[in-house]
Amino acid sequence: MTDAATKPALPTYADVEEAAARIKGIAHHTPALTSATANRRTGASLVFKAENLQRMGAFKFRGGYNAIAALSPAQKQAGVVTYSSGNHAQAIALAGKLLGVPTTIIMPEDAPAAKVAATQAYGGEVVRYDRYTQDRLAIGAQLASERGLTVIPPYDHPHVIAGQGTATKELIEDAGPLDILLVCLGGGGLLAGAALAAKALNPACRVFGVEPEAGNDGQQSLRSGKIVKIAVPKTIADGAQTPFLGELTFPIIQALVEDIVTVSDEALIDAMRFFAERMKLVVEPTGCLAAAAAFTAAVPVEGKRVGVILSGGNVDLANFARFIAPSS
Ligand SMILES: *Cc1c(COP(=O)(O)O)cnc(C)c1O
């Protein structure tokens, strides 16, 4: 999707509404949770959208299901291919299974074992690659042309962005107007969708993206006005190791997002501990990005009503135990 002539139109809030109708009764309407401790700690009124409790464990089910459901009967019959560090893979595999569509998933060799196993368990055919030396887009394009598959990329796709926006639509409809919305940022599907929904339902809401300190390509892109590409960042936030924003997600983010901030891996671990201990929630490192921005005041939230998207909960239990173990 680099050629302007073939670039699809940017999605709008109407597409988010259509996505909400497609996923209704299939995706979970996840709860909006509060914590008196979190409010005391930040001086804000925080509402957490618990997408770690979504089907397959992350918001990605929304966009994946919406994108496959919107295909033509012939496209559905031929099947889809995607590339992902994990959660989009599981989303496509599960959505394909529910819709009777065959799925092929290109996954990095160092993807968390739990994510690979879950993708295969949902019936996806997994093809491995080395994310530090091989180009997953090229592998995807080749498989698509050889097998007649439709490519469903993890974030730079109108129906994926629109599907991800349904999480924020539910949050604002359930929790009421917000002053600030904090959203984890990888390739920007979640943030772009969230911004479309927030600005349509609650125009005064200021939307912030949060990415790992080790890979602030989104922040650099927003500040320089063009998509900045970086080396694959090394961070425990494996769902946000995307080295650049999308051609569709970036213009939406540019138009609707206030700023992009960063948090350290230490702040993610601190947030994971908080959710496990205080809220009895398993949230994966990437899923803690937005919350960590509130806890560290990377975005000043004191006195504000703040929506925080907990984007996912898929973490190997051995890693989780290591992360949350008290340091000796
Ligand atoms: C994919 C993912 C993200 C980042 O989403 P983008 O749409 O790529 O920005 C954040 N958190 C989790 C848990 C994810 O799986």
For residues 318 and 208, state if they share a domain: yes
* pLDDT greater than 80 at residue 112: no
Last residue of a domain, one of 118, 151, 184: 151
Number of the ligand 1 atom closest to the C-alpha atom of 189: 7
* pLDDT greater than 90 at residue 19: yes
> At 2, is the pLDDT very low, low, confident or very high (cuts 50, 70, 90)?
very low
**Cα end-to-end distance, the chain, whole Å:** 49
Output the pLDDT for position 5. 53
Average pLDDT over residues 83-93: 87
User: Which tens digit of pLDDT belongs to each residue from 58-83?
Assistant: 999 999 999 999 999 999 999 999 98
DSSP conformational letter for 6 = G
Substitution site in 55, 59, 257 for ligand 1 pocket (most atoms within 8 Å of beta carbon)? 59
Beta bridge partners of 209: 183, 260
For residues 170 and 106, state if they share a domain: no
In a domain, 1, yes or no: no
CATH of the domain at 96: 3.40.50.1100
Percentage of the chain with pLDDT > 70?
A: 97
In a domain, 6, yes or no: no
Q: Is the CB of 185 under 6 A from ligand 1?
A: yes
In a domain, 147, yes or no: yes
For residues 138 and 282, state if they share a domain: no
**Would you call 85 a catalytic residue per the annotation?**
yes
In a domain, 112, yes or no: yes
**Would you call 60 a catalytic residue per the annotation?**
yes
Pairing between β-strand 206-212 and β-strand 180-184 as defined by DSSP bridges: parallel
Last residue of a domain, one of 90, 124, 151: 151
Q: What is the DSSP string of 37-76?
A: HHHHHHTSEEEEEEGGGSGGGBTHHHHHHHHHHTS-HHHH
Average pLDDT over residues 158-184: 98
For residues 146 and 161, state if they share a domain: no
For residues 182 and 240, state if they share a domain: yes
For residues 162 and 201, state if they share a domain: yes
Provide the domain limits for residue 50. Answer: 13-59+157-324
Q: Which residue has the higher pLDDT, 139 or 182?
A: 182
* pLDDT greater than 50 at residue 1: no
For residues 164 and 260, state if they share a domain: yes
> At 136, is the pLDDT very low, low, confident or very high (cuts 50, 70, 90)?
confident
Output the pLDDT for position 10. 96
In a domain, 317, yes or no: yes
Last residue of a domain, one of 151, 186, 205: 151
List of E strands, the chain = 32-33, 45-50, 80-83, 103-108, 125-129, 150-151, 180-184, 206-212, 259-263, 305-310
Per-chain mean pLDDT for the chain: 94
pTM: 0.94
CA of 238 to the centre of ligand 1 (A): 9
